[in-house]
Every structure is written in structure tokens, then in C-alpha cells.
Amino acid sequence: MPTPLSLILIDDHPLLRLGVAGYIESETDLKLTAQMANAAELRTWLAAGNHADAALLDRSLPDADGLDLVSDLRDQGIKVIMLTIADSDEEISEAISSGVDGYVVKSSDPEQVLTAIRSVCEGQSSFPLSIMQKMARGELNHHALSALTAREMEIVSHVKEGLSNKAIAFKMTLSENTVRNHLRNIMEKLGLRNRVQVATLALKEDHKRH
């Protein structure tokens, strides 16, 4: 029998944690490893060297914006699913920019939450259908690109031209390593996985402007 996927839950509402824990524990392929009520507890848990496959993370924690924890979790190789009541385009864009792997609104059916967990653990991203449609139409992209610095935008424009990291480094008189680091930050901010997606997004933006 395969090892169950290990999950952690970070939310300050005990009743919600109880409910989510209940339907995760009823699934044989999922296991809730830990529950935390705030950012401090999560940071202590991570600092102790603990690990999980994925985290269900609330956006509004008593001591932090959940988005500030996304990079901490991803640095440890933990996938992040935002579990939130917020479903405005602005907030979803911010979550995508911060690099979350999935987004689940708290009013969703338990089945949708479980599907999102499994998709994300398999290496896919999981966003509500309405959000996916907006992403496909490019309606959320502008906000995402506006989160980039001028230097990052310059790198994006070179990626769009199909230049390699080496060529970009030469053009911008930077080290190849610096270009690689910038590119990683760009992908994290945009919630993208590779340079092809970065180029596609930039080309879409150009197309909208002309």
C-alpha cells in the first residue's frame, strides 16, 4: 500500500480545523500530520526540521498574512494550497503571484478540497474553474506582471526573445547565477513553473497592448 500523502493545516479557526481534519482522516491516501493556529507555530514546526507533502494555508492568520509564509513552505519542498474565504480577482492574483500551487475557497465542497490536494501533490496546479478561465483569458496576468521590478521585467523581455541565461547575462552584464536567481524569483512571483510560461505570459501582455 502506498504511503499516504502527509498534510499540514494552518488556520486559526478550531471548528474549521476539526472539519477539515475529519474529512482528510476519512481518506486512506491522505494523512494530517500537524495542525497550527498561526504563523509562529508553523515557523517553529519548520525550524524543527519537520516535513509534509502539502500545506493547507489560511490567508488571514492572527500574526501574519498567509502569503508571507508561502516561500517558507516552498523552500522546504512543501506544496501550498491557499484555503480562504477570499475569492476576489485581486486576492487570487496576489496568491498566484506569491507562488501557491492551489487555491480553495472555504465554501467549497469537501470533495473539491480533496481533489485540489491530490492534484497539487501530483505536481499540477489547482485553481477553481472560474479562476482558470480568467487566467486563460489573461485577465489576472496584468496584476501579476506589475509585481515585478524593472530589472525582472528586463529579464522577462529577454526570455520572451528566446535568449538563454548565458545570453541574458552577457547582455545585462550580470553573472549567469544572478540571472538564474532573478528568473527563479520571477517564476515564484508569477506562480509559473518554467521559462516557457514566462515567455507566453509576456507575449500575451504584448498582444493585449497592441
- The predicted structure's pLDDT at residue 45: 98
Mean pLDDT throughout 11-26?
94
- The predicted structure's pLDDT at residue 188: 81
Q: How far apart are CA 144 and CA 91, in angstroms?
A: 11
pLDDT higher than threshold 70 for residue 131: no
> What whole-number percentage of the chain has pLDDT above 90?
50
Q: Which residue has the higher pLDDT, 151 or 142?
A: 151
Could you say which architecture CATH assigns to the domain 148-209? Orthogonal Bundle (1.10)
Number of neighbouring beta carbons within 10 Å of residue 176: 14
Letter for the amino acid at 58?
Answer: D
pLDDT higher than threshold 90 for residue 193: no
**3-class DSSP state for residue 35?**
strand
- Give pLDDT tens digits for 50-76: 999 999 999 999 999 999 999 999 999
> Domain residues of the chain, as ranges?
5-137, 148-209
**3-class DSSP state for residue 34?**
strand
- The predicted structure's pLDDT at residue 134: 65
Order of strands across the sheet with 54-57?
30-36, 5-10, 54-57, 79-84, 102-105
**One fold for both 5-137 and 148-209?**
no
Exposed/middle/buried for 93, CB within 10 Å: 0-12, 13-18, 19+? buried
CB contact set of 61 (below 8 Å; sequence gap of 6+): 10, 11, 12, 37, 38, 39, 69
pTM: 0.66
**What's the CATH code, domain 5-137?**
3.40.50.2300
- Per-range mean pLDDT, top range of 23-27, 125-129, 196-200: 23-27
Q: How far apart are CA 16 and CA 197, in angstroms?
A: 35
- Per-range mean pLDDT, top range of 35-49, 64-78, 103-117, 147-161: 35-49
CA–CA distance from 148 to each of 16, 21, 43, 119, 163 (Å)? 35, 37, 27, 28, 19
- The predicted structure's pLDDT at residue 95: 82
Does residue 190 contact residue 201 with C-beta atoms inside 8 Å? Answer: yes
For the CA atoms of the chain, what is the radius of gyration? 18
- Give pLDDT tens digits for 70-126: 999 999 999 999 988 876 777 777 787 788 888 988 888 899 899 999 988 988 778
Q: Between β-strands 30-36 and 5-10, what pairing exists: parallel, antiparallel or unpaired?
A: parallel
Does residue 64 contact residue 36 with C-beta atoms inside 8 Å? Answer: no
Least Cα distance to 95 among 52, 136, 128, 47 occurs for: 128
- The predicted structure's pLDDT at residue 132: 65
